[in-house]
Amino acid sequence: MTTLSEAVRPGAAPDQPADAAEAPVRGLWRQGLVVFCENRLALVGLGLFVLLAAVCFLGPLFYHTDQVHTDLTAVHLAPGEQGHPLGTDGVGYDQLGRLMLGGQTSIIVGLAAGILATALGTLWGAVAGFVGGWMDAAMMRVVDAMMSIPSLFLFMLLAAIVTPSVPMLILIIGAFAWLGPARLVRGEALTLRSREYVQAMRGMGGTGGRAVRRHIVPNAIGTVIVNATFQVADAILYVAYLSFLGLGVPPPAANWGGMLSDGLADTYSGHWWLLYPPGIAIILIVLAFNFIGDGLRDAFEVRLRRR
């Protein structure tokens, strides 16, 4: 009902078709951007992420602290004491500097693992969905089998065998987080494959390769990107879980989950500055990615339904 309305001149020839309206012509990406920007929360999420990333990666350039050597003369200093805005922890590291350092690990591992999981899952799911038949059945049974094992248990097992480091954490999380995207993309590929526009293309003599390139990938990319943002948020949480359980990167490296775990011991000592800042940081970054994901979903899907 809100589509083109046209001014038909009186007395026009009966078969004169309706002309397109005078509305400005805009590309799909541009329209998507507009929808994304209409979503306030998505913009807040984007701003929040940029802010947190800037603090973690650019902050240390302006705020120099020693995050390698312990200083047992300055442990458990309250915020503001001796020039430590957020105080110090149990071995004398500056809490604010440590938050920045820990944030770097969390963001790097989260982004890398999220992207790895999405890439792996997309590839796996897409092949299963396009090829179909026994190949699909076999590939999806692998996914089902892995999904039936509690992931936390697997993480712990793996982390106990290998020494956790940043690349290793990325691999471990990526290796198990791809199951969700694989299922999602396979379903998408299955439906896209049977769409009428793919059939129309086959009717023109087009090949399977063209179907994938021109029709299936462009239509599935939205789902994949949206899912990737949620994967990143999940991966950041996984890092936090693992570190909380003592399976994170070993000191002096830091990350927010590990800091939270350390801070837990101090709950009853009144050292709140060791507990709340990392906790709040984790909540904020996960929230930011979820908001961005929601906004992207609107941007990719809503504009096509406005018919």
28 is a site residue for another protein (CB under 8 A): yes
Please choose, out of 116-124, 163-171, 190-198, 238-246, the segment that lies near another protein by the rule CB under 8 A.
Answer: 190-198
193 is a site residue for another protein (CB under 8 A): no
Number of chain positions touching another protein (CB under 8 A): 41
Alpha-carbon distances, residue 172 vs 28, 106, 155, 167, 299 (angstroms): 37, 14, 7, 9, 32
Q: Return the DSSP state at 37.
A: H
Q: Which is nearer to another protein, 16 or 82 (CB)?
A: 16
Could you tell me the smallest distance in angstroms from the CB atom of residue 214 to another protein? Answer: 7
Distance CA(42)–CA(64), nearest Å, equals: 33
131 is a site residue for another protein (CB under 8 A): no
Minimal CA–CA distance to 178: which of 194, 154, 209, 156? 154
Alpha-carbon distances, residue 131 vs 62, 127, 128, 187 (angstroms): 54, 6, 6, 12
Q: Which is nearer to another protein, 154 or 201 (CB)?
A: 201
150 is a site residue for another protein (CB under 8 A): no
Please choose, out of 43-51, 57-65, 90-98, 215-223, the segment that lies near another protein by the rule CB under 8 A.
Answer: 215-223
The residues, ordered by sequence, that sit 6+ positions from 127 with a Cβ below 8 Å of its Cβ are 135, 139
Q: Compute how many other C-beta atoms are within 10 angstroms of the C-beta atom of residue 203.
A: 9
Judged by CB under 8 A, the residue of 83, 150, 205, 209 near another protein is 205
Q: For residues 121, 122, 125 and 129, what is the CA-based torsion angle, rounded to 10 degrees?
A: 180
Residue 244 CA to chain centroid, in angstroms? 20
12 is a site residue for another protein (CB under 8 A): yes
Give me the 218-257 binding string for another protein, x by CB under 8 A, dash otherwise: xx--------------------------------------
134 is a site residue for another protein (CB under 8 A): no
7 is a site residue for another protein (CB under 8 A): yes
> What does 18-32 look like in DSSP terms, one character per residue?
PPPPSPPP--HHHHH
199 is a site residue for another protein (CB under 8 A): yes
Q: Which residues bind another protein (CB under 8 A)?
A: 1-8, 10-20, 25, 28, 195-197, 199-206, 210, 214-215, 218-219, 304-307
